[in-house]
Amino acid sequence: MEFIRGIEMIKEDFELPERLVRARFDTLFTRSADRLYIKLRRAHGHQSWTWWKPQIINKWANNAWRFKVETAFESSKFNADKDKSLPWFCQQKDRLTALYPGMSEFMIHRKILRQCGGDLEHAFKSRTTEQSSAEDIINILEEVTTRTRIGSSRVNLKTRFNTPWKDYLYKNPKENSNNVKYKSEDIIRKCHICQSTTHLANACPRKGKINEIDIEKEPDVEKDDDVENSDDKSSIFSESSKDIENINSTFDIMGYYSHFPQLSNG
């Protein structure tokens, strides 16, 4: 583990005796590690550094710990809007180094870049090589996230002002000029025929009654017109028939008188 390797490196660099290393355990261990140290210290007393190393490995290098670290690594996806490149990369690298001590640096970098996903992963991998160090990877992360909009979810100003005003107004009510809050309770839906709020105009019962009255009235008017027209026609027909009868009678009289001998004027 990196913790054990770090202590051993400090011990070798400063040529510290084990008693000084053990004296710093109370400040090196924090939270649950500090509670474990106090518990083991009371139970076993003073012990050498070689005794403490397997105790630490048994506590934090078991299957439950490995599963917890793997889950944390897989769930930590790089977000260009929220995450900083340096702390995110270092944390992910520490997790992989603790899980796979013998993994090469190139494979560690590849696994970390896969957590970016999509266009970000392609942008990072196209700028790195097998010889790229951790510093090179961090610089590339900073360059891509600060100088480009790859992987960013921020709205572009050009697309923002091209959106319809209704979508912008209802999706962003806090950003409009009047800061008006639209609620469904403010809009009262009612029938424009009877002004009732229980139904709309398409289901209004008065609309059907009005239509029925109109339908009943129209045939009566037509019938009255038909009666008047028929009376006029019958009167005209009767008058014309009378005239024809008078003409026929006059012709009959003239034919009757034509059989009589004609008197001469002399």
pLDDT in tens, 75-119: 998 888 888 888 999 999 988 988 887 889 889 999 998 888 788
pLDDT of 72: 92
Q: Is 27's pLDDT higher than 60?
A: yes
Q: Which of 184, 183, 167, 185 is nearest to 175 (CA)?
A: 167
Average pLDDT over residues 220-239: 53
The residue behind tokens 């995110």 is 88
Q: Is 6's pLDDT higher than 60?
A: yes
pLDDT of 22: 77
Q: Is 265's pLDDT higher than 70?
A: no
Specify whether the CB–CB gap between 55 and 25 falls below 8 A. no
pLDDT of 263: 46
pLDDT of 53: 81
Q: How confident is the model at residue 2 (pLDDT cuts 50, 70, 90)?
A: low
The residue behind tokens 């019938």 is 223
| Eight-state DSSP code of residue 1 | -
* % of the chain residues with pLDDT over 90: 6
Q: Is 195's pLDDT higher than 80?
A: yes
- What own/partner pairs with CB < 8 Å and gap ≥ 24 does 111-119 have? 112/137, 113/137, 115/73, 115/74, 115/76, 115/77, 115/78, 116/77, 116/78, 116/151, 117/77, 117/78, 118/151, 119/150, 119/151
What six digits make up the tokens of 13? 């660099």
Burial of residue 99 (CB within 10 Å: 0-12, 13-18, 19+) is: middle
Least confident of 33-42, 122-131, 201-210: 201-210
Q: Delimit the domains of the chain by residue range.
A: 2-61, 206-257
pLDDT digits (tens, 9 = 90+) for 118-162: 888 888 888 888 888 889 989 988 888 888 777 666 545 455 555
Specify whether the CB–CB gap between 83 and 138 falls below 8 A. no
Q: How confident is the model at residue 23 (pLDDT cuts 50, 70, 90)?
A: confident
Mean confidence (pLDDT) of the chain: 73
Average pLDDT over residues 4-28: 78
Q: Which of 87, 89, 82, 77 is nearest to 154 (CA)?
A: 82
Least confident of 49-63, 156-170, 190-204: 156-170
pLDDT of 155: 47
Greater pLDDT, 132 or 5 = 132
Q: Which of 112, 94, 105 is nearest to 133 (CA)?
A: 105
Please tell me the pTM assigned to this model: 0.46
As a whole number of angstroms, the distance between CA 264 and CA 266 comes to 5
Q: Is 266's pLDDT higher than 50?
A: no
Average pLDDT over residues 70-77: 91
pLDDT of 5: 76
